[in-house]
Amino acid sequence: MKLGRHGIVAVLLASTLGGCVADRQYRRGAPVVSESLNVGEFDRTQTGNLSGRYSLAFIEFDDKGQMFEPAQLDRAIAEVRRARTSRAGAKPSIVLFVHGWKNNASDGSANVWGFRQVLAGLALNSTLGGQAEEVVGIYVGWRGATISAPVLKEFTVFDRHHASQRVAKPVMIGTLQRIMDAAKDRVVSSSPATMVLIGHSFGGAVLETAVTPALTQAIHDARTAKTTVSWPADLVILLNEAQEGQESKPLLDLMAKEVKPWTCAKPSGLADYPRPAVISISSTGDVATRGYFPGEQLIARPFQKKKYSGIAGAKLYYETTAHNGTLRSHVFGRTDDPEIAEAATKCLPTLISTISYGATDIEYAVVPDPDAANKTPYWVMHMPPAIVPDHSTIFTQIFRDVIISLIGQALLNERRNELIPAAP
């Protein structure tokens, strides 16, 4: 049998169609689920049957950015309110995750499971810390995957990059606002919940685009009320974000103009840093955003505008925020890494995370870069491949531990961001 050119085209077409991932809802009518993971099943350093209990809600968006089922949002908000009022003085942790490229809200998506691991780890951490607080996870699904066939799926990068901008507004903006309000508002007779938003890859782009209006509004509100800035979420974390730096620049510029910059605390003094509003962190081993992303931007150049001119403008167009050296503000790594150790001789670390693996204690630190131009509450940094080896494998045990520890420490810091006094 001879397979001609037409045959090969037919096979390719069949392969593509066979590997299509539909624009569909995966959690139709599904209630918020309460789950309990035995942490020892995925964390070999844990002994005994220690479980982390959390509840998990899904909110799914179609490829146009519309919610498949608005009741999913209602259920998620109801769960947030229930957790806040479950007992007097409750301070639950609400963690919202926007998944990345090649993922969706199905249980076949590894991001769903990685998020579950983070939630279980947070819940266990809270339990071991003495005061068991509830953990509520909200997984925001969108059509991150359109083709599942190998090789072919790699070419969806252009389309999904565009989709990440489209999905982010306007419904997503309102959705995030409602969730953040439910976690923080004073309508409920309880203390505000802890609200953390996490976005990965193109999900980071979705999240940043959707949450920027709320962050901007918070600065304007603080200016009007003449108070410190009360961010709508306690922390926004962008992991291996696949979005050009020029999209983050307006927010960074606004923060630089309005919010008092952090100053490097000398090692002989006391660390007194205001807490971050946004942390953008990418692995140096993330070839997708560091190596290929500029290539994608190059190919898309005839159809896209550069928002800033000059060499700096070109860097902002081609590089993601965390891979842009001029935007990076902190260094992150093991404390015995010479680069980190040297940075720590100039500035006191803002965060230190000690991960105990039995007899082994490994210390990681986030240290401000005294020479950084970016001194805003939008922290930008690299992380070594030992923590996250590549673009997609974000939920490694070490990174789960680090992120849980960093979230805890960042939130312990009560110091709020102050505004730069207005000119008379």
Partner 1 sequence: MRDSENAARLLALMLCVMSATPVGAQIPDLPVSRLALPPSVMSDDAPLEAASIGSAGGQTLLGATHTQDPWSGRPVCAPMFLKADWQLSSKQRGCNWLQNGVLSTGRIFTTVASTLFSMVLDLPSEHGDGFRVRFGRKWLQGAAATTGEYVGSLIAHEDPREIPPYLVLRPTAPPRGFFPRFGAAVARTVMSTQCVDPCRATDIRKRIGLSRVLGALASGVTGAALNQNQGGTDDWNARAWHGTLTAYGSAFAHQLLSEFKPEAARLGGRLFRLFGGS
Segment 278-337, which members bind partner 1 (CB under 8 A)? Answer: 284-287, 290-295, 297-298, 301, 309-311, 313-315, 317-319, 323, 334, 336-337
Smallest gap, in angstroms, from Cβ of residue 408 to partner 1?
A: 20
Rounded Cα gap, residues 311 and 86, in angstroms:
54
For tokens 């950084």, name the residue: 372
The site string for partner 1 over 168-207 (x = CB under 8 A, - otherwise) reads ----------------------------------------
Candidates 98-106, 191-199, 220-228, 373-381; binding stretch for partner 1 (CB under 8 A): 98-106
Beta strand extents in 147-214 (DSSP E only): 194-200
Q: Which is nearer to partner 1, 41 or 159 (CB)?
A: 41
Choice between 78 and 419, CB closer to partner 1: 78
Smallest distance, Å, CB 258 to partner 1? 29
Q: Which of 218, 352, 362, 419 binds partner 1 (CB under 8 A)?
A: 362
Distance from CA of residue 178 to its chain's centroid? Answer: 18
Contact residue for partner 1 among 127, 393, 409, 413 (CB under 8 A): 393
The amino acid at 254: L
Question: Crossing angle, helix 202-225 and helix 245-258, to 10 degrees?
Answer: 20
Fill in the per-residue mask, 39 to 58: x = in contact with partner 1 (CB under 8 A), - = not in contact.
--xx-xx-----x-x-x---
Q: How far is CA 340 from the centre of its chain?
A: 23
**Cβ 341 to partner 1 shortest distance, Å:** 10
CA distance 233 to 278: 9
127 touches partner 1 (CB under 8 A): no
The whole-angstrom separation of Cα 322 and Cα 244 is: 9
Nearer to partner 1, 51 or 413 (CB): 51
| Adjacency order of strands within the sheet including 360-368 | 330-334, 360-368, 351-357
Give the number of C-alpha atoms closer than 13 A to the C-alpha of residue 224, restricted to the C-beta side: 7
Residue 317 vs 332, nearer CB to partner 1: 317
Question: How many residues sit close enough to partner 1 to count as binding (CB under 8 A)?
Answer: 101
- Taking CB under 8 A as the criterion, the residue among 84, 116, 184, 328 binding partner 1 is 116
Map residue 265 onto helix, strand or coil.
coil
**Cβ distance to partner 1 smaller for residue 215 or 239:** 239
CA 202/CA 62 separation, integer angstroms: 15
**Pair 417, 378: CB distance under 8 Å:** no
Q: Which is nearer to partner 1, 54 or 231 (CB)?
A: 54
